[in-house]
Amino acid sequence: MDLSKPSPENVKFLIEEIKAKLRMVNVDAMKSEHFNDSQYEDLLYLYEMVKKRNSFSPNEMQAIAEELGSLRK
């Protein structure tokens, strides 16, 4: 998958991977339809940061969730 180009499919992939890695409980709050290509670079950065880490503190989880919330349409 080529993540270098923004597309609805790539946005969906990034969101799904972030949710899976964080084991988010309220997954309905973070549907890929809530995001668009204009925030793609921010989503990609967040995805890359999340994928590098093995675990997250509760504060980090909250900060990531807040960042995702700020990127929503």
Residues 16, 50: Cα–Cα separation, whole Å: 12
Q: For 5-39, how does the pLDDT look when each residue is reduced to its tens digit (9 = 90+)?
A: 999 899 999 988 888 888 765 666 677 888 878 88
Per-domain residue ranges for the chain? 27-73
Is the pTM above the cut of 0.75? yes
pLDDT exceeds 90 at position 64: no
Residues of the chain with pLDDT > 70, as a percent, come to 92
pLDDT exceeds 70 at position 70: yes
Q: How far is CA 31 from CA 13, 24, 40, 50, 53, in A?
A: 11, 12, 14, 17, 22
Instruction: Report the phi/psi class of residue 72: left, alpha or beta, with left for phi > 0 and alpha for psi in -120 to 50.
Output: beta
Residue 3's pLDDT is 92
* Residue 37 structure tokens: 């290509």
